[in-house]
Structure 1
Amino acid sequence: MQENVASESGRGTVPTGRSSSLVPFLFGVAQRPELPGTVLTRLLGDFGLTEAAARALLLRMRQEGKLESVRRGRGVGYRLTGEYGRRFDRIRQGAGDPQPTWTGSFHALVYRVPESRRAFRDGLRRAAVHLGYGLLQQGVLVNLQDRSGELDLLAEPPEDVRVFVARLEMSEPDAARAALLAWDLDDLADLYAGHVRTLDAAVRAQPTPPEPGPETLRRYAELLRAPMVDTLRAPRLPATLLPPDWPLPALWQAIQRLQQVFAGPSVAYVAGQVDAATP
């Protein structure tokens, strides 16, 4: 679902709890690994955040390990880090990420977690999904690669938790059926197809680039953030394990068409804000 970033008055507003996704979006538009805190605060203001709210957001993201701060003279610069930094890098790779080949087996994490450790179980599942795992069934996570070493929760699990690293050998047809379940590929395909329709409708309604400014930046964010974040849900699977007419390539093409209209003026506006803050 796309997020509403426009109020009746025309000034952007962001629902509470969702504004943190604006920060990596702004880094992407700025095309810079680091942004001054004053610039981030000013740009977040274009989306309806007060200066105090913007500063509180940046502080919270830093405390959560999503941002790191760097002292620059009398000011502070920010960089994406942790999971946000990794997700940002994955989005930038985008459609250029090569598809793997089916080798005959999935890597699997088989776990048994008592109900009293629900928080651990949910945290493990969430962290694994961020690393590209799919949930084949309760207690079984699968991936093409063994990324168990990147799961910090497995370093010192509770004594009553059991986690086993295994390989699940399958024929290619069985692997395709397993992938459909593990990553909810049918639902994901419907989601991507819906994004394609929305983006193409926006381009038809605005076939030429608008003027640089906060309204253009807000509209770009409204259209682009949800599809870009949802591309992270796509597993890196061989084409033979994906459903017929898998719409992710079409979504990347629709994103490119949208960028041809909105990216230029949005980049120009953000660059102007950065230049104005640079001594």
Structure 2
Amino acid sequence: MGDRYRLTRITFDVISVFGCLRASAVPGPIIVRILADHGYSASSVHNQLTRMVQRELVSAERRGRVTLYRLRERILSQFHDIGGERTAPEFDGHFHAAIYTIPEASRQLRDRFQYSARMLGYRQLRSGLLIGFHDHARALVAQLPEMTNGGWYEFTRLVPDDLESAKRLTAIAFDLDCARTEIETLEAELALLAGEQGRPGTGLPELPIGRFFDLYFRVGRAVMENPLLPVDLVGEEQPSQRFRAVMDRCNLEYYLRYDQQVREAAAESPSYDLVDWLPEG
């Protein structure tokens, strides 16, 4: 997938400012100030914000001499999914599938197709074939321009021979073995943050916020890349639920270690009064 449509670390960190402040709109100077503690220069943050506006991840509006940034609905709903309770889909005996051929001459279009499909819950079973558990054909088409250079796509249903075949296809497309290995790695790293007594916030007390967000980024990406799957195919204890449990632990570690630091950094800015706060609770 091309970098234009990949969730990069700096993109994640910019979006995390909104979550850390629990705000729907944040002035540019505050974003720059908070991310300075992550090690980013002001110019790199401004350049990233410009790219995110171009990619329609955030909107920008002028308030005097300050630009106020707001998460667009597409990325906002995606990040709401990280912490939200979701209902596992049912398996109705078939997969919803997208079959496509998009040549190298239209690489950006192919990247956009793959990225958009992935965000809607499809995963690649093999080259040119994506499967999922919901029919998102209309939503996907709405995000795509007209195909060029002989590119095409079709939506259909893929019916496995039996339940065991469906389980195998799910494990391949959603890379369950890799997901379970990643969970164990992340859980081990979080255990270090809880210290020898197993109390959150007590281990590695001098851990800088930028290093903490190295872990937070990996956990957030894992949650977004591992949707809830039908229990019939993966069992009750599935990777998505375990990744969300790890995210809950990350959120607690953040609150205990850095919440006050970030709020104080935001309050230093003359544009603090322009922050549009989310409702409490």
Report the TM-score when normalising by structure 1.
0.80
Tell whether the 8 Å contact from 2:121 to 2:227 is kept in structure 1 after alignment: yes
The CA distance in 1 between the partners of 2:143 and 2:149, in whole Å, is: 13
Deviates more, 1:61-70 or 1:214-223: 214-223
The CA distance in 1 between the partners of 2:200 and 2:155, in whole Å, is: 52
For structure 1, list consecutive stretches of 5 or more residues without a partner in the other structure: 1-16
2:93 aligned residue (77, 96, 104): 104
The CA distance in 2 between the partners of 1:166 and 1:74, in whole Å, is: 51
The CA distance in 1 between the partners of 2:20 and 2:222, in whole Å, is: 18
Describe the superposition over 1:201-223 as per-residue Cα deviations: whole angstroms up to 9, x where unpaired. 2222683547xxx9653343233
The CA distance in 1 between the partners of 2:112 and 2:145, in whole Å, is: 13
Residue 158 of structure 1 deviates from its aligned partner by: 2.2
1:56 aligned residue (35, 47, 55): 47
1:194 aligned residue (177, 185, 188): 185
| Residue aligning to 1:221 | 213
Query: CA 1:120/1:222 → structure 2, altered by over 3 Å: closer, same or farther?
Result: closer
Matches within 5 A, 1:1-279: 18-81=9-72, 83-93=74-84, 96-151=85-140, 152=142, 154-158=144-148, 160-170=150-160, 171-204=162-195, 207=199, 209=201, 216-242=208-234, 245-277=237-269, 278-279=272-273
The CA distance in 1 between the partners of 2:145 and 2:109, in whole Å, is: 12
Structure 1 residue identity aligned to 2:154: F
Tell whether the 8 Å contact from 2:183 to 2:243 is kept in structure 1 after alignment: yes
Query: CA 1:115/1:269 → structure 2, altered by over 3 Å: closer, same or farther?
Result: closer
Tell whether the 8 Å contact from 2:27 to 2:66 is kept in structure 1 after alignment: yes
Query: CA 1:209/1:216 → structure 2, altered by over 3 Å: closer, same or farther?
Result: farther
SS at structure 1 position matched to 2:121: coil
Q: Which has the higher contact order (CA 8 A, sep 6+)?
A: 2
Tell whether the 8 Å contact from 1:108 to 1:165 is kept in structure 2 after alignment: yes
**Identical positions, percent:** 24
Residues paired across the two proteins, number: 259
The CA distance in 2 between the partners of 1:194 and 1:108, in whole Å, is: 32
Residue 42 of structure 1 deviates from its aligned partner by: 0.6
Query: CA 1:209/1:188 → structure 2, altered by over 3 Å: closer, same or farther?
Result: closer
The CA distance in 2 between the partners of 1:114 and 1:37, in whole Å, is: 39
Query: CA 1:138/1:65 → structure 2, altered by over 3 Å: closer, same or farther?
Result: same
Q: CA RMSD, aligned part only?
A: 2.8
The CA distance in 1 between the partners of 2:22 and 2:222, in whole Å, is: 20
Query: CA 1:199/1:265 → structure 2, altered by over 3 Å: closer, same or farther?
Result: closer
SS at structure 2 position matched to 1:54: helix
Query: CA 1:39/1:122 → structure 2, altered by over 3 Å: closer, same or farther?
Result: closer
The CA distance in 1 between the partners of 2:246 and 2:109, in whole Å, is: 39
Report the TM-score when normalising by structure 2.
0.80
